[in-house]
Amino acid sequence: MRLAVGGVSRAFGGVYAVRDVSLTVAPGELRAIIGPNGAGKSTLFALIGGQLATHHGSVTLDGARVERLPAHRRARLGVGVVFQGARIFHGLTALENVMVGAHATTRAGFLSAALRLPAHHREERAIRERALTCLDRAGIADWAHRPAEELPLGQQRALQLARALCARPRLLLLDEPASGLRAAEREHLAGLITALRAEGLTILLVEHDVAFVMRLADRITVLDLGRVIADGSPAEIRENPRVIEAYLGPSFVRSPHGAS
């Protein structure tokens, strides 16, 4: 899926969180958004996902404008979202939480489910198998039948990613997915994101861990005070004087991670 953001702006109380931001993400590209706290990253993320409405500008998916569509309509078009905080449905197992993610792609309909027709049973079995596969890809298959609220934080975050994948997205929005994860969990996440990109999934990644971003991203957009200050490859961003001054700092450039 191709994403194009054209001059989007969003203000809160007269103060712009995002102002005149434009970017294009090609099908199968992994684009990262970085910047200091308060740069507008999460606001831009919500404007693309539909959790917030734009005040100005456009958001298009494969050429179709969607900035006026609510989040659930964008989900039906193939937008999957993994939020910064772990969002789970209490009282459901991990498997059931992931199965909920497929609601945007179901076809049997309410009547078929209410009457428990064969089409509903076939679809339910298919969704269950898909959810189990997604749990395995997220590295938490062993937790499938445990209550979701019993999972540790790292597994709850992985659960949210598995739920998004269960909807078979064509554009995946990730808001700080590595935050709070242990080293082994971060490595597994990096491997999964790399595999998803190799499969052709378009990914927009908002992340504070710059070294994590530099490993994965095809291109990086840098925000500061709600505006784009740089856009380019990881190598270009690493050496951009404006980015170094506003965000990275000279110590990152000299560090092994920055030089990698």
Do 229 and 207 reside in the same domain of the chain?
A: yes
State CA 163 to chain mean position distance.
Answer: 12
Yes or no: say if 222 and 34 are a contact pair by the CB < 8 Å rule: yes
The domain that holds 198 is classified in CATH as 3.40.50.300
- Give a yes or no: residue 158 inside a domain: yes
- C-beta neighbour count of 83 within 10 angstroms: 19
Question: Residue 117: its pLDDT value, please?
Answer: 58
Do 176 and 219 reside in the same domain of the chain?
A: yes
Domain holding 244, by residue range, is 1-78+169-260
Rg (CA), the chain: 19
State CA 234 to chain mean position distance.
Answer: 19
Instruction: Tell me the residue length of the chain.
Output: 260
pTM: 0.88
- Give a yes or no: residue 245 inside a domain: yes
Which of 149, 168, 187 is at the close of a domain? 168
Do 174 and 260 reside in the same domain of the chain?
A: yes
- Give a yes or no: residue 69 inside a domain: yes
Do 186 and 250 reside in the same domain of the chain?
A: yes
- Give a yes or no: residue 84 inside a domain: no
Two structure tokens written together for 184: 């082994």
Question: Residue 106: its pLDDT value, please?
Answer: 62
Q: Residues 236-246: pLDDT tens digits?
A: 999 999 999 98
Do 51 and 175 reside in the same domain of the chain?
A: yes
Which of 168, 191, 213 is at the close of a domain? 168
Asked whether residue 251 carries a pLDDT value surpassing 60, the answer given is yes
Do 74 and 160 reside in the same domain of the chain?
A: no
Beta pairing class for 30-34 and 56-61: unpaired
Residues 6+ apart with CB under 8 A from 249: none
The C-alpha atoms of residue 190 and residue 63 are separated, in whole angstroms, by 30
Q: Residues 30-70: pLDDT tens digits?
A: 999 999 999 999 999 999 999 999 999 999 999 999 999 99
Do 204 and 163 reside in the same domain of the chain?
A: no
Residues 6+ apart with CB under 8 A from 185: 139, 154, 158
**Mean pLDDT of all residues in 189-217:** 96
- Give a yes or no: residue 83 inside a domain: no
- Cα atoms in the 13 Å half-sphere on the side-chain side of 79: 27
Do 123 and 46 reside in the same domain of the chain?
A: no
Do 71 and 118 reside in the same domain of the chain?
A: no
Question: Residue 104: its pLDDT value, please?
Answer: 65
Which of 168, 200, 233 is at the close of a domain? 168
Rounded to 10°, the helix 153-166/183-198 angle is 10
Do 113 and 176 reside in the same domain of the chain?
A: no
Question: Residue 260: its pLDDT value, please?
Answer: 37
Do 242 and 123 reside in the same domain of the chain?
A: no
- Give a yes or no: residue 141 inside a domain: yes
The C-alpha atoms of residue 26 and residue 7 are separated, in whole angstroms, by 17
Asked whether residue 119 carries a pLDDT value surpassing 90, the answer given is no
